[in-house]
Structure 1
Amino acid sequence: MAGNSQRRGRSAGAGKKTATAGTGGKNRRSLAGRGATPPASARPHHPAYKKAQADAARRDNRARVQRRNEEQPELLLGRNPVLEALRAAIPATALYVVTGDTTRGGTDERITESVQLAADRGLPLLEVGKAEFDRMSAGALHQGIGLMVPPYEYAHPDDLLDIARNSGRPPLLVALDGVTDPRNLGAIIRSAAAFDAHGVVVPERRAVGMTGSAWRTSAGAAARLQVARATNLARSLGSYQDAGLQTVGLAADGDMTVHDYDGFADPIALVVGAEGAGLSRLVRERCDVVLSIPITKSTESLNVSVAAGIALFAAASARR
């Protein structure tokens, strides 16, 4: 019977708790628990972890391929880009012209001037057939002319401040946070040149650089406007802030609209986010103010180059 101290075999004092020696805190860590469960992508044996590692490897590989491509000479295509590049005397190694290329019955005057400028510089003039040039340009629209240029020589982000100071105008810089489409980069450079910006800054990683497509879309403006490459964009924005510039971001959920902002006439660095993703967290934290562009509710968003052009126009109008 339970609790019967008279049952057979029971020793005296059995069942009574007695004092025992402590552990001295040696088991405290095991008693503390392991804390919150880490996310699946951080647990090595979880499928989500392997997927995250594979995605990171693919991104790094794309970045390596992009850097390798940008380190190779590139064929700049199109009559306006080639002519503007030759007028600006950018480094070049050869000029290619399609044999017998004509426009409306006669040679295009831009091709004629390009050939003359190349001859004045002593650049080799190479005539090629259309089929061969189509192959060389990988099927891109070339308009019968191409300029072989060495890899683009980027400026340092601080160099743009020197350019602005020497211009006698308040600095107006454009920083691109992860823009990956070369056509968007070229269009932004074209708008920046049209509205008197002093330069464009692009990140070194996970962003497009000055490719032939970017050159072409800029319509030669890249020959007149300096493009800098930043190892760390957020840090470069911090140095611009230290130099007295206000960093102005663009986002759909901005603090105010471009119409309400009254600081465009001051020294600013306009920060534009990536296509779709917008401003990254670290870069947005570096922005003194974030502006939005009011659009109709039926339109989800604006193209990044269009948004940059609108903000640059607002800055140019304020400075007039």
Structure 2
Amino acid sequence: MDQQSEEPAEREVGVGPWQGPPPQGTHWDPELLAAGDRRNVVDEYRYWKHSAIVDDLDAKRHQFHVAIENWQHDFNIGTVVRSANAFLAKEVHIIGKRRWNRRGAMVTDKYQHVRHHPTVEDFVRWADDAGLSVIGIDLFPDSVPLETYDLPRDCVLVFGQEGPGLSEALRTASAATLSIAQFGSTRSINAGVASGIAMHAWIRQHGQIRR
């Protein structure tokens, strides 16, 4: 067979069974040590129990939260949850319908706290009680550029659903509305992408970058 026509082998994710004497500690998962760990986790957490990973993440989480409106089953929520896990947000808040498509989360919802609020009023009341500034992210005529805005350390970044954008109720409740600089012909960018950009902006201002 022509070597050029051969399909490349798929890269195996994760690690196989533990080699050598088993490590000591209550955070290790005996089943994973014996069978291998193929989960979508960083190498630091290989072979760890799920509960131990969540406990460790909880001790390190950042002070920002993320919220997204879900009135029409927005398919971007999975991406938002996955990005929130990557940037170690405190919590993800879903406003509106409770059900959402978890496929895009790539199982990160098992490690990321997700809270539901049935109405905007419930969410705003919760944010106020928690002492968090509500920061809306959307392309309004009076929006302030995200790139030049000093984000509060204790805040919740709020995104509207794909298409309609941020609802008027949340826009009114926001301490500020910010826009992401765009330079092409498209009117807007995907809500899942926008959430990742905004979270990274918070990290650039407040996060502790490992060297």
Q: Normalization by structure 1: what TM-score? A: 0.45
Partner of 2:77: 185
The equivalent residue for 2:40 is: none
Secondary structure of the 1:202 match is strand
**2:130 & 2:114 partners in 1: Cα distance?**
19
Distance 1:198-1:298 versus aligned 2 partners, 3 A rule? same
CA contact (8 A) 1:199 1:228 kept: yes
Aligned AA for 1:299?
Answer: T
RCO (CA 8 Å, sep 6+): is it higher in 1 or 2?
Answer: 2
Aligned residue number for residue 99 of structure 2 = 209
Does structure 2 retain, via aligned residues, the 8 Å contact 1:188–1:305?
A: yes
Q: 1:121-154 CA deviation, whole Å, 9 max, x = no partner?
A: 9xxxxxxxxxxxxxxxxxxxxxxxxxxxxxxxxx
Name the structure 2 match of 1:255: 143
3-state DSSP class of the match of 2:76? helix
> What secondary structure does 1:312 align onto?
helix
Cα distance, 1:204 vs structure 2 = 3.9
The change in CA–CA distance for 1:203 and 1:241 in structure 2 (over 3 A counts) is: same
Identity score, percent: 26
- Which residue in 1 is equivalent to 2:192? 305
Match of 2:108 in 1: 221
Separation in 2, partners of 1:317, 1:229 = 28
Distance 1:241 1:312, change over 3 A: same
Aligned pair in 2 of structure 1 residues 272, 109: CA closer, same or farther (>3 Å)? closer
Q: Tell me: CA distance 1:105–1:225, structure 2 relative to 1, closer, same or farther (3 Å).
A: closer
The one of 242, 251, 275 aligned to 2:162? 275
Note the alpha carbon deviations across 1:106-133, whole angstroms, 9 max, x for none.
9x566978xxxxx949xxxxxxxxxxxx
Unaligned residue ranges in structure 2 (runs of 5+): 1-7, 18-29, 33-54
Q: Does the residue aligned with 1:284 lie in a helix, a strand or coil? A: helix
CA-based RMSD: 3.1
Q: Bigger radius of gyration, 1 or 2?
A: 1
Specify the SS of the correspondent of 2:79: helix
Residue number in structure 2 paired with 1:199: 91
Answer yes or no: is the 8 Å Cα contact 1:201–1:228 preserved in 2.
yes
Helix, strand or coil for the counterpart of 2:139? coil
Paired residue secondary structure (2:182): coil
Runs of 4+ in 1 over 2 A off after TM superposition: 103-106, 108-113, 166-171, 178-183, 208-211
Of Structure 1 and Structure 2, which has the larger fraction of its residues in helix? 1
User: Shift of the alpha carbon at 1:171?
Assistant: 2.5
Cα distance 1:109–1:245, how it changes in 2: closer, same or farther (>3 A)?
closer
User: Is the contact made by 1:202 and 1:209 (CA closer than 8 Å) also made in structure 2?
Assistant: no
Question: What is the identity, as a one-letter code, of the residue corresponding to 2:66?
Answer: V
Matched residue SS, 1:259: helix
TM-score normalised per structure 2: 0.66
Is this contact kept in 1: 2:95–2:123, CA < 8 A?
Answer: no
Stretches of structure 1 that go unaligned for 5 or more consecutive residues are: 1-102, 114-118, 122-162
Query: Hey, what does 2:23 align to over in structure 1?
Result: none
Q: Is the alpha carbon distance of 1:247 and 1:109 closer, same or farther for their aligned partners in structure 2, counting shifts above 3 Å?
A: closer
* Deviation by residue 1:72-93 (Cα, 9 ceiling, x = unmatched): xxxxxxxxxxxxxxxxxxxxxx
